[in-house]
Amino acid sequence: MAKNIKQTVKINGNTLFSRGWATKENVECLKKAIENPTTQNKKEFFSLIPDEYKVQFNQIGITLPTETIDITLTLGDFLFDIIVESIPKPTAPLKLAAYNKGIGDLAERLLAPEFELTESELEAVRKVMDDDVLWSKVKVDAEINGGKTLALSQAGISIFDKVVQGAVNIFVPPEEKIEMIEEKIEEKTTPKRGRKKKI
């Protein structure tokens, strides 16, 4: 049984985007909005930035790049995105209906406070978490500011150390790790018995 760990991290909006919006005029306007954060000053800064940044800021619910957002990831969501990516989506109607039902059942299971994975689900997760190339391509959806979602790549996932450790513990539970460490210590400290050399 795995515990559905939930971790929330506060992150500055600046860390999520490139600073392509940072023209001299925009930076001056941003300073003004930080010093005096009125709605008018925030709107003025927002109106100056390129449209692509307006879309990105709107996606995460900020007006200024210096604003802090809460990003939340659960172990269940993390595992769900990895497992679903490993299941080919069929096009035939009956197979598609079965696929959708299976995905719905999986989502429901991984929302519970505790859950178990099947052998095939464990194998799908192990495959990604044990391969540098697959891990570098992983994408997981996290919740931002209590509602919207944000796709995280490997770098973004790494800030959720408790969730990643929770996934690792599914394969190597903490008790087993302690036993393995104790065995290694015992091996090193136990003197080897052998024949005494003749002098």
Q: What is the mean pLDDT of each run of 10 residues along the chain (199 residues)?
A: 94 79 86 90 90 86 88 96 95 96 96 95 95 95 85 90 95 64 60 53
In this prediction, residue 123 carries a pLDDT of 96
Contact partners, residue 55, CB within 8 Å, separation at least 6: none
Q: What is the pLDDT of residue 13?
A: 81
Tell me, what's the pLDDT at 181?
A: 54
pTM: 0.75
Q: Is 61 left (phi over 0), alpha (psi -120 to 50) or beta?
A: left
